[in-house]
Structure formats: C-alpha cells, structure tokens
Chain A
C-alpha cells in the first residue's frame, strides 16, 4: 500500500473555508486594496501623529507666514507643505487633523450604528406596535433638516470633540435602522431562526447570536458610508465655525482659515480638501470591498 499512487484529481480536497475564499477574493479586489491602503495610511497618521508630525501644529511663527511648499521657489525641508497664515507648519496640522477627523468619523458611525441597528432589529424582529414606533421615529428623523439641527446643537452644547461626535451620531442612525429592519425581516423567516425559537432561545439570543451575524454585511457597508458622511459634515461644521473650535487642527478649520489667502495661496485650501476627499473615497471603497468578499452569494 505504501506504493499507492497519489490521487491525480483534487476531488477529495476539502472546499476552502469561507475565510479562505474571502481571502482569495481580496487578493484580486483592486478597490478593496486601494481603500484599505488609504484607510491604513490615515489611521497610522492619526495614531502616531505625535511622532510623525515634523513640527508642533500650534506654534505660530509670524516671521515665516505663508511659506511655500518644498517644490516651489524658496521652499525648504523645514516645512514640506509650507506654512499657513500664522506661520504654522501645514503638514503637521494636516497630520494632527487626521486624529480629529478619524475620532469624530468613527465615533459617530459607531454610536449611530449601535442605536440604529438596535432599533432596526427590534422593529424588524418583533413587528407590531414596536415596529410602528420605530418607523415613526425614522420618519420624524428624516423630516428634520440634519445640518441645521447639528449647527443649532453645536451652538448650544459647544464644539468639543465629544459633543460633535454625539451630535453627529444623532443624525445618522436612520439609515442603519432602515436597512437592518428590512434585513431582519428577511432573515426572520429562515429555518434556523425557527429552530432557535423551538429550542427555547431567548429573544436577546436570537437577536444578537442568530440575526446580527447574518446582517453584519449590510451594517458594515452602511457604517462605511456613514463614516464618510460624518467626516464630510464635521469638516463642513468646523468650516462654518460651529464645529471643532480653532486652533484645534480639524481639516475643515484648515480650509476655513486659508480662505482669506486662497487667491494667492490656493494650495492651503486644496491640500486639506483633497485629504478629506481621498479619505472618504478610501473608506467607501473599503466598505464596498468588504461587502463583496464576505457576501455569501459572491462566493463561487
């Protein structure tokens, strides 16, 4: 028996596990890779800002205002992206601003995700009066002009990192609720839910151990979408002066501070704006990519 030939076909090989399949698909998913790279770079900026920033983002140097970028005439390695109207190093402010952006964006998406998913799952699974109440709450939320509400709340509660994050999470829970409610309604009719109910599982067990894992795909996609929108709104609020307060380097504040000098120093506006744009695109690509590779229907 020791000389028996090895099997020529791979019929007996086990099917790759779902995780292996996802990994194989990720290797060919360009959008996912670009998104992951962008998010990774900005996350590193945010986490290691104190070590990466070449200068203190708050130190003003009025003798060296509006210094040019490195590749422009008179640029120097001291200030790679030049300095702003107060002589502060733009690159350092940009890197520190990543921290503000990521905290607010992730925090708002996370809190609104928890709130919206809870409401959506409760409405979708329990139905009846509770579902009607959830739908009503969603309708009320949709009828309120979000940006104006956020502006008024910031003017009341102030522009700290915590209050902005909480105010923004009040704005974005509705899409989580709408999507998870529909997804829960679809999952609820499956056999494994009936099996869990028959075996006497509690409602909480069914919601969190049976339904939640099966709708997590949709939650990730909405989460990435909302994180992108939260970042855009935070920047807009800070730009309007009713968000994060100067001198904290939020990307929206960088743009608003450079407005006075934009006609002769446009790069001070272009660079932070592009940073916002690239990060949001990266987050959206990453979210879409994760959905593509984890979706059971997408596998072979």
Chain B
C-alpha cells in the first residue's frame, strides 16, 4: 500500500510540475508582458524600465523559478487589471464555484445512479430506453443554450427563479441543473454498464443461488462492485466541473472562478489566468489521487499491480 501510494504521489507531483511549466509558458506566449504593463502610450524607455523592474529581462528559466518559488509560498503575483493579489482573488471566488460544482455533482449522482441501476436491472424495458434517451440528449445539448432555455422558461415565463447572480440559494438552482447535465450522462452509462457486468458475474449468480432476497443481491453484491469505476469518474467529474463551469457562470452571472477566468482572459490579465489554470489542475490532481487511494482501499487487486 505504501509503495503504491509513494509511486502515485511521485507521478502526481510530476504532473503538477509539468502543468505549472505549461501555464507559465502560456503567459509568455501572450505577447510582451512589459508592454502590457506599461500600457498603450508608453515610450520604449518606460517599457524597458518596467521590464527590469519586474525582472522580465532575465532568462525564461530564471523567471520560472522565481514564479514557482513565490507560488510555493502562496504568492501568485498581482492582477494586471486591479493590482489585487491573485491569491486573494482566487480564494475569494473559489468557494462559489466549489459549491456550484459539488451540488451539480451531487444532483447528477442522485439522478444518474438510481437511473443506471434501474436501467441495468430492467434491461431493454421502457426505463432502460428512457434512461438511454436522456443520456443521448444530455450529452448532445449545448449547456449555454440549455441555460438560456431554463432562464426563458423558469425565470421569465413562470417567474419562479432568479436569472442571474449568486447571492441566495435560489440563484444556484438553474446553474446547478445546467452544470449537472454535463456529467450526468456519463455517470448513468457507467453505472448501467457496471451493473450489467456485475449482474452477469458468477458471484451474483451465487448470491441468487443462496436464495438471498433481490434487494441484497442488487445493492450489497452487484452495486458495490459496479460503483468502483463510478468513484473514479466522480472525482474526475468534480475536477472537470470546476474548470467547465465557466460557460454556466457567465450565462447566469455567477461570481465564481470561471467568470473570473473568463473576464481575465478577455482583458489579457494573464497572471490571473495562469494561476487559475494552475490551481484548477492542482485540485484535479489531488482529487484523482484521493480517488485512486479510495479505490485501492476498497479493492485490494489495485494495490498489487
């Protein structure tokens, strides 16, 4: 177990390091940072002065280590736009997006898991067909469009829900529903597939042969094994939702990290963009590491590989 853990941790660290290099490179790709900082009407002399002041005249490698060093201490630099510390901007916005992503994931699981189980148990029945139809539709509907349709129906026609902002819990309903459609089909298909495999397996036939009641067979024997891949998918989905919420946040004007990223990209505020990319990948790596450990804990076969 320890060896497995150390190996996974080493790879995770290496991934984070690579991502930090790439997101750093992205910032440098965006053009002359000194020119950006100096503004439109700056003379070449002023631009050079800023270049020296911010250390932009040094080699890329020196600059990277400089940035990585302060990032380790929690200093992600300052926004070019508002001059606020990037770390504060992100920690201020992250809880909103986190709430949105977690509630979307929970909603998706609450709908997809029972649906997947029923679809597998009553294979080829109308429930199965309805679930598959929903999955097909869910993975084909553009989320920004679905958000607008929800706004039109529930915000404007019936006036049931607020259409923008993130101040009360009611503001989170439509964004949560929209965002959950991005992961629901996958979770449903995976649960259904896992359940079908498990129901055909010998240990489930054995459980039937022992004369256990159907509920015990379905939930204690089949579902438990079908859930293993779903745990991994849930972790991956949460990471995906944190980064993918940008579309939903911008439609519903939710003040999360997605809309911060979107605004910063639009105004070329690359210190902020770079840090958000880095923080989100870091969260993703931590989540997948956790899910691997949970799976290794549940399933000893994984540890031995």
Contacts and interface: CB of A to CB of B under 8 A. Distances in A.
B265 A151 contact: yes
Contacts of A278: 140
| Chain A interface, >50% SS class | helix
Contact of A149 (B136, B140, B277, B284): B277
A228 B139 contact: yes
B281 A236 contact: no
B39 to A, nearest CB: 19
Contacts of A140: 15, 18-19, 22
A143 B19 contact: yes
Given A155-B268, A262-B148, A276-B142, A143 B250 contact: no
Contacts of A240: 144, 246-247, 250, 262
Interface string A56-73: 000000000000000000
Contacts of B261: 148, 151
Contact of B236 (A142, A153, A236): A142
A98 B141 CA distance: 16
Contacts of A214: none
A235 to B, nearest CB: 5
Contacts of A269: 145, 148-149, 152
Most buried by B among A144, A145, A263, A276: A145
A277 interface: yes
A194 interface: no
B104 interface: no
B140 A262 contact: no
A266 B152 contact: yes
B276 to A, nearest CB: 7
A235 B277 contact: no
Nearest to B30: A156
Given A148-B276, A236-B247, A242-B265, A143 B139 contact: no
Nearest to A279: B140
Contacts of B273: 148, 152
B140 A284 contact: yes
A interface residue count range (under 10 / 10 to 19 / 20 to 34 / 35 or more)? 35 or more
Interface in B257-274: 258, 261-262, 265-266, 268, 270, 273
B284 A273 contact: no
A236 B142 contact: yes
Contacts of A155: 30, 265-266, 268
Nearest to B17: A140
A140 B244 CA distance: 17
Interface of B: 11, 14-16, 18-19, 22, 26, 29-31, 136-137, 139-146, 148-149, 152, 156, 236, 239-240, 242-244, 246-247, 250, 258, 261-262, 265-266, 268, 270, 273, 276-277, 280-281, 284-285, 288
Interface of A: 136, 139-140, 142-149, 151-153, 155-156, 228, 232, 235-236, 239-242, 252, 255, 259, 262-263, 266, 269-270, 272-273, 276-278, 280-281, 284-285
25 contacts: A136-B14, A139-B15, A140-B22, A142-B236, A144-B277, A145-B240, A147-B244, A151-B246, A152-B30, A152-B273, A156-B30, A232-B143, A235-B142, A236-B143, A236-B144, A239-B247, A240-B250, A241-B266, A262-B148, A269-B145, A269-B152, A273-B145, A276-B145, A280-B140, A284-B140
